[in-house]
Amino acid sequence: MNKISIGCVADDFSGASDAASFLVKSGLPTYLFNGVPEENIALEENAAVVVALKTRTEEKDMAVKESMEAFDWLNSQGAEILYSKYCSTFDSTKEGNIGPIIDAVLEKYNYPSTVLCPALPVNGRVVKGGNLFINGVPLHETHMKDHPLTPMWDSDLSELIKPQGKYKAFKLDYEIMKNDKSKAKSFLDELKSENDHFYVIPDYIEDNDGKDIVELFDDMKFMTGGSGLLYHLGNQFSKESKGKIVPSMKTTGKAILLAGSCSKATLEQITDYQEKGHKSYKIDPEAMLDGKVQKEDVWNWVLENNDDSVLIYSSDNPENVNRAQKHGKEKVSQMLEDTTAYLAKKAFDNEFTRIIVAGGETSGAVTKTLGFAGYQIGESIAPGVPVMVPLSDQTVRLVLKSGNFGQKDFFELAVSLTGDE
């Protein structure tokens, strides 16, 4: 039995924890590393391993280099399947980095093909007719069309991959995939005979379509996509594992919640938490930039007001965000990330054992300052939001969520589920 069953490389940390949560759900013992491990790590047999990078918007050549270092390490550890994890909204520019990373893997390991499967039906991301839809809306008509770093100009995955990938993309008919596996196999065999390398885009409309995709491509050693397919891929290996090895969600100690996302979901979660009588503090970026409030003042408030849990947030509505950003968007963002990271480190140093974070950039700042190299992944608070236990400190529980993830009562639920009974 291979030491690693599935070796996954993710293009950011919150995406990596999302991927890891679905591998745990499939029944595999799962580990997440912040970058390529520098030393040998003791793992459970048949484990899944996710390596988190920060390559989504990195310069193309560097993104490829770092990704290949991660894939090479996973391959050296005996990974049976390699997986490139990117966002379920296919976040990428016309130059990359999804295509260049895929091509580098195909070429180095001489794999003929891979699939493009960004779908995550449980969160409203589906592929139909080769086009990506977000809650029923074509990708290029959603908020992603105006993304400042990775604007989406099309919904057709074959068009999105064309300017950044070297090879041809072929769509797999949904009805053939579902109802005529032998015909689908023949179609794939024909593509292999005519192309040295190529991409296949299967439709992925319902969650169970992932099972059909995994079964159809059972000889594929390299797959790509969002986190949805990983659950079904993991099911292929969990039958062989020694059993589901998952750390407990619960620990003793206080909780701090840190929210930086301004998504609608996170704003609703903050309001719900406040309406239920829990303590919270809003960071005023303009007051901090004017020197009226220091990050030390916020931490002192935490010490004075925290019983079991407290929420610190900079999340706000678009009007207030735009007003604050008149001081300089990057300046404000950096200040808020630095403040959040400072609070997380102070909390950890003062024996807060539960750190719950909302927002991708906020999560990145927190994980960087905490400095944990690896985690064992536990069960999830919400789809794509697992509880993570640092390998170097088994008393800590870290929960990172993307802005739009989680139900209305997510914060209260996260505190409740991670607290010792």
Tell me the per-residue pLDDT of 163-196, one tens digit each, with 9 for 90 and over. Answer: 999 999 999 999 999 999 999 999 999 999 999 9
Per-domain residue ranges for the chain?
4-238, 255-418
Confidence of residue 145 (pLDDT cuts 50, 70, 90): confident
Of residues 306 and 91, which shows the higher confidence score? 91
Shortest CA distance to 402 belongs to which of 165, 56, 48?
56
User: What class is the 255-418 domain?
Assistant: alpha beta
Q: Work out the pLDDT band at 243, boundaries 50, 70, 90.
A: low
Averaged over 247-265, what is the pLDDT? 92
Q: Identify the band that residue 410 occupies on the pLDDT scale cut at 50, 70 and 90.
A: very high
Question: Which residue bears the tokens 């931490």?
Answer: 299
pLDDT of 262 reads 84
Given a contact cutoff of 8 angstroms between Cβ atoms, the answer to whether 128 and 174 are in contact is yes
Who wins on pLDDT, 363 or 66? Answer: 66
Contact between 99 and 162 (Cβ < 8 Å): no
Exposed/middle/buried for 355, CB within 10 Å: 0-12, 13-18, 19+?
Answer: buried
* Sole residue written with tokens 């890891």: 20
Q: What is the pTM of this model?
A: 0.86
Of 371 and 360, the one with more pLDDT? 371
For residue 125, what are the CA distances in angstroms to 114, 121, 155, 227? 20, 5, 12, 11
At 364-399, the pLDDT tens digits run 889 989 999 899 999 999 988 999 999 999 999 999
Give residue for tokens 């003793």.
252
Grade residue 233 by pLDDT with cuts at 50, 70 and 90.
Answer: very high
Phi/psi for 4 (5° steps) reads -115, 125
Among the ranges 27-31, 158-162, 319-323, 356-360, which has the highest mean pLDDT value?
158-162
pLDDT bin (cut points 50, 70, 90) of residue 263 is confident
Contact 5, 364 (CB under 8 A): no
One fold for 4-238 and 255-418: no
Q: Which of 121-135, 234-248, 353-367 has the highest mean pLDDT?
A: 121-135
What backbone torsions phi and psi does residue 343 show, to the nearest 5 degrees? -65, -40
Q: What does DSSP assign to residue 193?
A: H
State the pLDDT confidence band at 146, using cuts at 50, 70 and 90. confident
What does CATH list as the number for 4-238? 3.40.50.10840
Residues 357-363, mean pLDDT to the nearest whole number: 87
- What's the pLDDT score for residue 245? 65
pLDDT at 334: 87
| Interatomic CA distance for residues 126 and 128, integer angstroms | 6
The CB density around residue 15, as the number of other CB atoms within 10 Å, is 25
Neighbours of 156 (CB within 10 A): 18
Q: What percent of the chain has pLDDT over 70?
A: 96
Question: What does the DSSP 8-state code read for residue 180?
Answer: -
- pLDDT surpasses 50 at 409: yes
In which band, very low, low, confident or very high, does the pLDDT at 1 lie, cut at 50, 70 and 90?
very low
pLDDT value of residue 303:
94
Task: Please indicate whether residue 43 or residue 395 has the higher confidence score (pLDDT).
Answer: 395
pLDDT band at 301 (very low <50, low <70, confident <90, very high): very high
Q: Is the pLDDT of residue 244 over 70?
A: no
The residue with greater pLDDT, 247 or 326, is 247
Tokens of 155: 């919904």
Assess whether pLDDT exceeds 50 at residue 356. Answer: yes
Q: What number is the average pLDDT over the span 221-249?
A: 84
Q: Are 20 and 32 in contact (CB under 8 A)?
A: yes
| 242, pLDDT greater than 70 | no
74 pLDDT exceeds 50?
A: yes
Query: Is residue 224 pLDDT above 80, yes or no?
Result: yes
pLDDT above 90 (res 321): no
Given a contact cutoff of 8 angstroms between Cβ atoms, the answer to whether 278 and 356 are in contact is no
Q: Burial, 64: exposed, middle or buried (Cβ in 10 Å; 0-12, 13-18, 19+)?
A: buried
pLDDT value at residue 155: 96
* Cα distances (angstroms) measured from residue 324 to each of 66, 72, 127, 186: 35, 44, 37, 58
